[in-house]
Structure 1
């Protein structure tokens, strides 16, 4: 697509005989929040480091704003927070950002704006070494925001934040996308990702398992059914949908079925003499989908 600002083509990184990232194709578009998900050690951070020119790929290629990673023109339009932010411990938060702003030809207004947006304006004069882990993470995001970059690459931006801080970061990320910024973030906080991301890429064992919208990944909602007698209820449902579409949840059944077919199923159950006690639509969470996908990849590799 014409508005894709990050594109990778089978990008791969090997260290000796170990393949850390294996032929990954990413596509990040302008104005979207893209969640990059995967278990620890899946290759997320290495991929992000390749996108900003900190690590050279073994094979494959990447383009950021149409240029190779690390190109000065692309770097000027990109804000980055990867792994733990590094600042001078004896300088204040404001002074640390001033140093970075000076290197980028930015002024005091840019520093003030960044501090305000990450909620550190009142603690800007305090030395960095006195900051909590969450405050250090906020300052790292503030550094990435200097100069209003068109693309933000954030590696675990909510690391160390309390629930209130996580909520504030969520609002900030959504606001950035609303103003046309693209945000590529990696995170293990799947509930947070579900609330803020437009699309996600899931990586496991170095391979991209899928790249899709959050809505498409979660799929259709499922039907939670509690009815008696249970064996007759199961048999009736099994005549209506494929057995693979039926699961169990305690004393109930979970059925993958389109909402429009639900009334017909209920009528079948009543006609079969089944008493229906509960009928609830339940949406799959991103966390459920994520664990299912990464478990499937692990099992397939174990069997190969």
Structure 2
């Protein structure tokens, strides 16, 4: 077992953030933890990494309680840039972390080269842009070669080329067997990395696959007249854009039924275009 949360709850005064959360990660995955800001994503990461205590519940990491310092041989956590020291350079930050994990200097050089950091390694952090700080935080997280990586809003301040590099690095790590959980409010970018999405909503974790919400589809059909009666009888509604293009709003079961009706009546489906992703539709159903 890579990660296990057992009935984890957390409140701040009268405000409950997490409520009896159960979760298991049994094999390496890239998982997106998605919710608007202020919904408890950082709190959950802090609890997993034992920086905050739950009100009740238990967290196991590689079959060890998360209160055991041994977990940090396998776990790395990218926090926000407030953990950086303004008067230290990137090299000094990385040298300290490398010494804690008995990592050779060559490893620092390779990571910094990969992240394009070499030209500002010896600048003090107080002179860094937000994107430069994010690169340093990622380097710190990677230097221990973790098997479980928690990344809290890692895309903040990154330009498009840095975001592309980030996706490449995450894919490389996953292919090496690293489990990655990325928190973000940016669903669009997370969907480019993974289809495994967890929403943090009403203090609970909800998998995107558990939510079946209607999505708009543009169907291009050879002859809808053949099936109009049957569609109406089965409760379908649609808008005609022209003689071949039709807009349907369907959940997964309805989509399957529509395509079954088309097939059984020899109506060709020339194309089907989904207006927004199912995950995006699920997000809007939960948070708007």
Q: Is the 8 A contact 1:85 1:137 kept in 2?
A: no
Deviations 1:190-223 (A, max 9, x none): 1221121252211113222x2256xx86899864
| Unmatched tracts of structure 2, length 5 or more | none
Deviations 1:224-261 (A, max 9, x none): 1478xx9998765322x444xx4669884214422852
Structure 1 position 281 matched with structure 2 position 277: no
Normalised by the length of structure 1, the TM-score is 0.79
Q: Which residue of 2 aligns with 1:257?
A: 255
Superposition map of 1:220-259 within 5 A: 223-225=217-219, 237-239=231-233, 241-243=234-236, 246=237, 252-254=246-248, 255=250, 256-258=254-256
Question: What CA distance in whole angstroms lies between the structure 2 residues aligned with 1:109 and 1:103?
Answer: 15
Superposition map of 1:166-177 within 5 A: 166-177=163-174
Question: What CA distance in whole angstroms lies between the structure 2 residues aligned with 1:249 and 1:9?
Answer: 50
Q: Which residue of 2 aligns with 1:185?
A: 182
1:80 to 77, 82, 87: 77
Question: What CA distance in whole angstroms lies between the structure 2 residues aligned with 1:16 and 1:264?
Answer: 58
User: Would the alpha carbon gap of residues 231 and 61 (structure 1) be closer, same or farther in structure 2, given more than 3 Å must change?
Assistant: farther
Q: Which residue of 2 aligns with 1:118?
A: 115
Question: What CA distance in whole angstroms lies between the structure 2 residues aligned with 1:60 and 1:234?
Answer: 55
1:65 to 62, 76, 79: 62
| Unmatched tracts of structure 1, length 5 or more | 271-275, 296-304
Question: What CA distance in whole angstroms lies between the structure 1 residues aligned with 2:135 and 2:111?
Answer: 10
User: Would the alpha carbon gap of residues 221 and 253 (structure 1) be closer, same or farther in structure 2, given more than 3 Å must change?
Assistant: closer
Q: Is the 8 A contact 1:114 1:143 kept in 2?
A: no
User: Would the alpha carbon gap of residues 85 and 114 (structure 1) be closer, same or farther in structure 2, given more than 3 Å must change?
Assistant: farther
Q: Is the 8 A contact 2:213 2:285 kept in 1?
A: no
Q: Which residue of 1 aligns with 2:161?
A: 164
Q: Which residue of 1 aligns with 2:130?
A: 133
Aligned residues: 279
